[in-house]
Amino acid sequence: MSGTDPGEPLMLERIRAALPALPPAERRVAALLLQDARSFATLPIGELATRAAVSKPTVVRFCRSVGYNGLADFKLKLAGSVSEGVPFVHRAVDEDDGAGELVIKVIDNAVSALLHYRNAAAAGALERAIELLAQAGRSGRRIEFYGVGNSGIVAQDAQHKFFRLGVSAHAVSDGHVQVMSATMLGPGDCAVVISNSGRSRDLVDVAEIAHRQGASIIVITASGSPLALRAQQPGHVLLAADHPEDHDRYSPMVSRLLHLMIIDILTTGVALRLGSTKLRPLLRSVKQALRERRYAAG
């Protein structure tokens, strides 16, 4: 499913994936759906059958073939799936949703984005990023994580995970300090620039400064953004994190989870590259020290 639109709801992703297994007539119904899902959710069965050039029973069979009880059940789920949500709050919820509905919609929205990333992630880019970070860690070079706002929180999480590996890792979220930090980088150091929108001037500028200083640049952001475009240059690695949130209309929820997950992947990969001879005793000592800070059970 790597060719699907990252903003496409999970329900439509599943139907697109099921296309090859559908009979030709039902495939025409699916094509009509994927062409305009919102209209499909409101049109009567007769109009759907006419537009797809199939019979009414074929429309119902299609709904059952893709896992629903019939057309009514399918339309109900589809309407919720393609809803534009509540602006500046969440793309998957409605104004009158109760707690039970919020649990389902918020979690399903997050799971959809994570599954899309799993299927679309560029393993080669992740491999290069892990190798650069591991090299910096082995040689005692600096690893700087840059982010602002919510991305600054992700940078702090990255610092927390990486410094436990015994490497020199720092998170910087203040724009002026970022400039000073990037200016002090050099060859062998790594700058990891994290941005949801990829449009923050501070982060675009700090990536340019770090690059001029000879550091390797790893960018975690949305593909097609200004930050992603500059990451096409030599010396950069782009880890594209595409998701359905419009950064101008919704709070950054799914994007934050995606970025945290990418940090987890990088941390795990670097830990494996650093090897177990020194790292595991270090991590064991850290765990033991933390255990001694806790109250005894019971």
Of the listed ranges 31-35, 88-92, 226-230, the least confidently predicted one is: 88-92
The residue type at 137: G
What confidence score (pLDDT) does residue 83 get? Answer: 59
- Read off the pLDDT of each residue in 53-76 and give the average, rounded to a whole number: 90
pLDDT level of residue 13 (50, 70, 90 thresholds): confident
Within 10 A of 267 (CB to CB), how many other CB atoms are there? 20
Residue 1 confidence (pLDDT) above 50: no
Structure tokens at 161: 């995970």
Q: What is the CATH number of domain 10-118?
A: 1.10.10.10
The owner of tokens 């994570």 is 114
Percent of the chain surpassing pLDDT 70: 86
Give the H or E element holding residue 263. Answer: helix 254-274
Query: What are the sequence ranges of the domains in the chain?
Result: 10-118, 122-290
- Read off the pLDDT of each residue in 230-258 and give the average, rounded to a whole number: 80
What confidence score (pLDDT) does residue 10 get? Answer: 67
What confidence score (pLDDT) does residue 82 get? Answer: 63
- Read off the pLDDT of each residue in 63-72 and give the average, rounded to a whole number: 88
Highest mean pLDDT among 62-76, 113-127, 178-192: 178-192
Q: What is the CATH number of domain 122-290?
A: 3.40.50.10490
Q: How far is residue 48's CA from residue 33's CA, in Å, rounded to a whole number?
A: 9
Structure tokens at 293: 């800070």
Residue 221 sits at φ, ψ, to 5 deg, of -165, 180
What confidence score (pLDDT) does residue 88 get? Answer: 42
- 182: exposed, middle or buried (Cβ count in 10 Å: 0-12, 13-18, 19+): buried
Distances from the Cα of 48 to the Cα of 26, 41, 87, 282, angstroms: 12, 10, 30, 63
Q: Which of 269, 288, 293, 292 is nearest to 161 (CA)?
A: 269
* Fold: same for 10-118 and 122-290: no
Q: How far is residue 123's CA from residue 285's CA, in Å, rounded to a whole number?
A: 32
Q: How far is residue 100's CA from residue 103's CA, in Å, rounded to a whole number?
A: 5
pLDDT level of residue 92 (50, 70, 90 thresholds): low
- Average pLDDT of the residues of the chain: 85
pLDDT in tens, 253-281: 788 899 999 999 999 999 999 877 667 77
Residue 4 confidence (pLDDT) above 50: no
